[in-house]
Chain A
Amino acid sequence: MDVRDKVIAIIAEQAMLEPGDVTPGQSPADLGIDSLGLVESIFAIEEAFDISVPFNANAPEQGDFDISSVAAIADAVERLVQEQHASA
């Protein structure tokens, strides 16, 4: 499973959907994921990829981690994996 598929699987699990039912353009809110659910998804992503995600629930739209859609989250995770594992 590549990064993108794994991110979709994590988000789908949080939304209690099958990965096939999650489309890249959907936002977490579209999938019924609330702020607490989003925090839990980010924790799951950090654990799955052994990365640290810059995310503050007080200002989710700010910062470098784009959470506007499933595709944006997957892109951001791919970038963080590259950045944080390149140095290791």
Chain B
Amino acid sequence: MTGRMSGGARRVVITGAGTINSLGHDVASTLAAMREGRCGIGPLNLRDVERLSVQIGGQVRDYDEYAHFNRQQIALYDRFTQFTLLAARQAMAQSGISFTDEESEMSGVVLGTAGGGVNTWDENYRTVYEEGKNRVHPFVVPKLMNNAAASHVSMEYNLRGPSFTVATACSSSNHAMGLAFQMIRSGMCRAMLTGGSEAMLCFGGVKAWEGLRVMSKDACRPFSANRNGMVQGEGAAVFVFEEYENARARGAEILCEVAGFGMTADAADIVMPSAQGAERAMRGAMRDAGLTPEQVGYINAHGTGTAANDKSECASVAHVFGAAADRLMISSTKSMHGHLIGGTGAVELLACIMALRDGVIAPTIGYEEPDPECALDVVPNVAREARVEAVLSNAFAFGGLNAVLALRAA
């Protein structure tokens, strides 16, 4: 590896990862679940669940906020911020990175979330509308704002460089990580904490999704002919992205390299995906990374389990990869952790790291019937051992906003 590409661009590597989601409260337990093809989706445990027509989700279980945060912190930290901070702590601990005063000014936090503090909105709307109270807690606004998590991470680690939150629905995390990658590659930043979080599993958060009639009431079965919709999840994943030479100089363990990023807009429909928009994003990520289709061994699919997405995504992959699609593996880990909406790309990046570092391809579980419109190797139900050189991670959001990351083995 050489540190600088032509034109002075720097190489970007991942040196730390952290997560909490329905499969586990850290990276090791999450990857173990993905390896075993374990499902984190189950009956929802939340207030007024009996009034929901969709009553399943990938909920973070056995979670006690008081085990991690004190009363003052909880007054300011919505559930999505709590998840983010826990994931960031794990990522920082693994990375072992530290910052001088000057370095901290060149390092920041870019995170994705679609809804931000949805639980805080929900609880306080109840207070004023249902309970008829005329007063809410003074910290409602700083608790619910979409950038709260990014700001608290920047404060916890004194990161004073570019920091903000990206909200592009289901592509939020991939857009965030793509921007963090570009900022390090360009030399603007030295290291970034990046990823995303979502905590939308409350009455209002699920009720809103029910309206679209795209949710499954029983399971998320991506690419299976009998799939009947998506299932929501919650949680966060945060990574330390770092300039390669810096990581090498300090002897950090490199989990993988972030090699390219592609983003496009369909400019077509507010909910229906376009295969062309997805195609252009995948091609863009590969071109940016200098990868050919033959070099990409695995794609972590957007794979929501809806009729529309899976069909359109498979068509776009088949078109981009041509003959190389025959030896390509593609799986949707949403079948296990659910769709974390704005946080989903971050948790799914863990499956990409597992593929590149450990040579284990996470399966698409719940796969029951082949669908001729999804005729790719979707790694059905059982994880597979395979060495891959490079992978893609797809995210195709409502609104037609597509974001694809390309990664290489270290």
- Give residues in A with beta carbon < 8 Å to B: 34-36, 39, 42-43, 52, 55-59
| Bound CA span A55–B53, Å | 12
B273 to chain A, nearest CB (A): 12
Question: Which partner residue on chain B sits nearest A57 by CB separation?
Answer: B213
Question: Which partner residue on chain B sits nearest A34 by CB separation?
Answer: B272
| Bound CA span A55–B212, Å | 10
Complex contacts, B212 vs chain A, CB 8 Å: 39, 57
Question: Which partner residue on chain A sits nearest B53 by CB separation?
Answer: A52
A13 to chain B, nearest CB (A): 18
| Bound CA span A59–B310, Å | 13
Partner pick for A43 among B211, B227, B272, CB 8 A cutoff: B211
| Bound CA span A43–B213, Å | 10
B93 within 8 A of A: no
| Bound CA span A49–B228, Å | 26
**B5-41 contact mask (Cβ, 8 Å, vs A): 1 or 0:** 0000000000000000000000000000000000000
In the complex, the answer to whether A58 meets B211 with C-beta atoms within 8 Å is: no
In the complex, the answer to whether A35 meets B229 with C-beta atoms within 8 Å is: no
In the complex, the answer to whether B229 meets A56 with C-beta atoms within 8 Å is: yes
Interface SS, B side: loop
Partner pick for A39 among B213, B270, B306, CB 8 A cutoff: B213
Interface residues of B in 209-260 (CB under 8 A from A): 211-214, 216, 227-229
In the complex, the answer to whether B213 meets A59 with C-beta atoms within 8 Å is: no
B307 within 8 A of A: yes
Complex contacts, B308 vs chain A, CB 8 Å: 35, 58
In the complex, the answer to whether A36 meets B228 with C-beta atoms within 8 Å is: no
Partner pick for B228 among A34, A35, A42, A56, CB 8 A cutoff: A56
A14 to chain B, nearest CB (A): 15
In the complex, the answer to whether B213 meets A42 with C-beta atoms within 8 Å is: yes
In the complex, the answer to whether A59 meets B211 with C-beta atoms within 8 Å is: no
A-B contact pairs, 12 of them (CB 8 A): A34-B272, A36-B272, A39-B211, A55-B213, A56-B216, A57-B212, A57-B306, A58-B216, A58-B228, A58-B307, A59-B228, A59-B307
Most buried by A among B53, B307, B308: B307
B75 within 8 A of A: no
B271 within 8 A of A: yes
B215 to chain A, nearest CB (A): 8
Complex contacts, A36 vs chain B, CB 8 Å: 270-272
Question: Which partner residue on chain B sits nearest A38 by CB separation?
Answer: B213
Complex contacts, A34 vs chain B, CB 8 Å: 272
Partner pick for B272 among A35, A52, A56, CB 8 A cutoff: A35
Partner pick for B214 among A42, A43, A52, A58, CB 8 A cutoff: A58
| Bound CA span A56–B212, Å | 9
8 other contacts beyond A34-B272, A36-B270, with CB at 8 A cut-off?
A: A39-B211, A42-B213, A56-B216, A56-B229, A57-B214, A57-B306, A58-B216, A59-B307
